[in-house]
Amino acid sequence: MAGSGALLRQCPLLLPQNRDGTAYEGFVTAQGRDFHIRILLPVDFQLKNARIECSWHLKKILHEYQHILKQRLHSCPDLVSFMVELKTILEIALKNTQDLHIPRPPEYYSCLVRDLEILGWNKVTYVDTGLTTIKLKAEDSCGRQHLIALKLNAKYPTEPPDCLVDFPVQFAISWMPQNSLIDIYNQFLAALESLKEFWDAMDEIDGKTWVLEPENPTRSSTTRRIAIGTNVSVNVEVDPRHPNMLPECYFLGADHVVNPLRTKLNNNMHLWDPEISLLQNLKDLLEIDFPSRAVLEKSDFAKDCGICYAYRLDGTTPDQVCDDPRCGQPFHQACLYEWLQGLPSSRQSFNVIFGECPYCNK
């Protein structure tokens, strides 16, 4: 796999387990300690579909950082950059775990309670028994609820807390020793407003179309796979900083259906109007109406894989479709790859395998 030298430099104890570079096992090191980990990549090396297995100890340490790790898996371009992110998150998690056992001076508690009283207890949704982790809630101008989790170390307020948010972009706070929770909360509110247009666009897509993936999108999720018809969909990747610009579009389906859509998108690209909503722009450019939630059910588009007879497999849905118009059967990429590998008539060129459809033999 590309970048194996860089991976060896970052994680010398993490070794490939097969020739394809789709399985890695070994140890990740943080603060002088080694933690056992296993990473399984799909055949297309898409990190968002990777599976991570680790020791119960590491799982316990990273438990509260799960949504951040999922976000990083979706946004990192390769395994090397993800391992760098993982080590950074692990360092923070270990530091916070150690901080829990450091006795706090009386000034820490008096300062924290004073800050919470000034901020208002009605904004607090959770405080742990040691007063080291606090969760605050806020509403943006559209009435959407958001949470921010603060992990305070023993030197608060001299040092800022670590902030965990469900954002599609990095949330970095500016902090001075004289600052308080109110300053963080105000920066949180400002960040919410800066992402308002992005969440407006995603909410419209979620409310008016059938989103096949992700099944339960988080506020940090920047992609949506939208149903266009039976076994035809478009995957859009929206830039959270410029949500009114043309997103990256990737069509999934049989070539005879997908190619005309690609042509329309390319021919009509100049018609994109940042003054109207992202969803309306997509309709205008593709010259289609997306199937309505009011008229059709998700089951009308969510067809099971023709090999494993399941819709969801290890978090993925069928995204490979037979090109024959009379067939159009969908398959999971992993199922189809395994099936075709077992056929003597199939041939492989680099990372692409060619063979007959399991349904219609075309």
Checking if the pLDDT of 100 tops 60, the result is no
Least confident range of 234-243, 292-301, 319-328? 292-301
Query: Does position 209 have pLDDT exceeding 50, yes or no?
Result: yes
Say if CB 260 and CB 271 are below 8 A apart.
no
Last residue of a domain, one of 70, 99, 128: 99
With 70 as the cut, is the pLDDT of residue 299 above it? no
User: 95 and 13 in one domain?
Assistant: yes
pLDDT at residue 262 is higher than 80: yes
CA–CA separation, 42 and 38 (whole Å): 13
CATH number, domain at 155? 3.10.110.10
pLDDT more than 70, % of the chain: 96
Into how many domains does the chain fold?
4
Residues 95 and 111 in one domain: no
Are residues 6 and 95 part of one domain?
yes
Place of tokens 């075709």: 340
Final residue belonging to a domain, choices 301, 320, 339: 301
User: Which positions ≥6 away from 171 have C-beta within 8 Å?
Assistant: 163, 165, 188, 191
Please give the average per-residue pLDDT across 153-172, as a whole number.
90
Q: How far apart are CA 344 and CA 356, in angstroms?
A: 11
Are 353 and 271 found together in one domain?
no
Whether pLDDT at 302 is above 70: no
Quick check: 281 and 273 in contact, CB under 8 A? yes
The length of the chain is 362
Residues 217 and 153 in one domain: no
Supply the DSSP string of 257-313, one letter for each residue: HHHHHHHHHHHHGGG--TTS-HHHHHHHHHT--PPPTTT--GGGT-PPPTTT--S-B
Determine contact, residues 45/30, Cβ cutoff 8 Å. Answer: no
Q: What is the mean pLDDT of residues 42-65?
A: 85
Domain shared by 355 and 270, yes or no: no
Q: What is the 3-state secondary structure (H, E, C) of 59-101?
A: HHHCHHHHHHHHHHHHHCCCHHHHHHHHHHHHHHHHHHHHHCC
Long-range contacts of 273-281 (CB under 8 A, 24+ apart): 274/244, 274/245, 275/244, 277/200, 277/201, 277/204, 278/201, 278/204, 278/205, 278/238, 278/243, 278/244, 278/247, 279/201, 279/204, 279/205, 279/208, 279/209, 281/246
Residue 347 corresponds to which tokens in the numbers above?
């041939």
Domain with 43 in it: 2-99
- In this structure, which amino acid lies at residue 288? I
Q: Residue 320 in 3-state DSSP?
A: strand
Which of 68, 99, 130 represents a domain boundary (last residue)?
99
Tell me, what CATH number does 316's domain have? Answer: 3.30.40.10
How many Cβ atoms from other residues are within 10 Å of residue 31's Cβ?
A: 12
Q: Is the pLDDT of residue 2 over 70?
A: no
Quick one: 195 and 216 in the same domain?
A: no
Q: What is the pLDDT of residue 197?
A: 97
Q: How far apart are CA 279 and CA 205, in angstroms?
A: 6
Query: What amino acid occupies position 255?
Result: D
Q: What is the mean pLDDT of the chain?
A: 87
122 CB-side CA count, 13 A:
1
Q: Above pLDDT 90, what percent of the chain?
A: 42
Q: What would the mean pLDDT of 27-49 be, rounded to a whole number?
A: 86
Interval 64-99: pLDDT, tens: 888 888 888 888 888 888 888 898 889 888 877 766
Clarify whether residues 82 and 112 are in a common domain: no
Residues 196 and 228 in one domain: no
More confident residue, 321 or 193: 193
Residue 127, beta-bridge partner list:
134
| Out of 68-72, 112-116, 190-194, 286-290, least confident range | 68-72
In terms of domains, do 195 and 214 share one?
no
- Of 202, 208, 203, give the one whose Cα is nearest residue 223: 202
For residues 156 and 186, membership in a common domain is answered with: yes
Dihedral of alpha carbons 160, 163, 167, 169, sign: positive
DSSP letter at 238?
A: -
Span 208-215, mean pLDDT?
88
- Please tell me whether the peptide bond between 157 and the residue prior to it is cis, using omega within 30 degrees of 0: yes
Same domain assignment for residues 289 and 277: yes
Three-state secondary-structure class, residue 345: coil
